[in-house]
Amino acid sequence: MISLQGVKPFAEGGNRLCFIHPNNNKLCLKISKPEVIEKLYLNAPWYKKLRMKRSFDDNYREERAYKQRAIKENPKKIWKHLARWYEFIETSEGLASCTELITNNDKIALNLEEYLSKNGRTPEIDEALGEFEIFLKKTKLLTKNIIPHNLAVKENISGLTIKIIDGLGSMSFIPLPEISSSFANMYVKRRIELMYSRIEWDLSGRKGSWK
């Protein structure tokens, strides 16, 4: 078991806390908030409560998302734009999903929301977004709505690279994008449209709606 006593999370989302692995600063430990899982379960319609409670846990949802077809069919190139998922690890704070920690010069990489807030929409980030868009279309990688804070900005000698660090998986109630290439194409295209809409919404001061 990994002890996280006295270790502060470097990031916190609505559902999980993120820690740097105390024995390996290249790894991220994501721990779900028990109270959120309980709330999601209690507020779910009756038919969803027929499932195991862990189906409401983002860690198990993430594990399942990493088993999708796009990753199995692209075992090498997929990781250029996706943080690796390794395993579950028991910690003093609960079960953790262990993933690749994206860094730049040994510092945690800015997420896209932070980058845009600091630098605006630069030519470099536009080029990185264009490359990311092509990647999504080619691989048909299924994600939830692509939110800027779920994307890390990796610095390379050749420029910037966008990497998904959270939000993997399909939002479709009926899993047609998971079994049909044509539905996957439509699904991914819509996620890309919403990604750019969300970026513009963030840059505009979050006025109105981005969906």
For the chain (length 211 residues), average pLDDT per consecutive 10?
Answer: 94 95 97 93 84 90 96 94 98 97 96 96 97 98 96 96 96 81 94 96 90 87
> CA-CA distance, 102 to 173, in Å (whole number)?
31
DSSP 3-state helix, strand, coil percentages of the chain (rounded to 5)?
A: 40, 25, 35
Can you tell me which residue has the tokens 């959120």?
A: 36
> CA-CA distance, 185 to 140, in Å (whole number)?
6
- Are the C-beta atoms of 108 and 162 separated by less than 8 Å? no
pLDDT at 48: 83
Indicate if the alpha-carbon torsion angle 61, 63, 65, 69 is positive or negative: negative
pLDDT at 180: 85
> Helices in 67-180 by DSSP H: which ranges?
69-73, 112-119, 123-139, 176-179
> CA-CA distance, 180 to 70, in Å (whole number)?
12
Tokens of 135: 């990647």
pLDDT at 172: 79
> CA-CA distance, 57 to 4, in Å (whole number)?
20
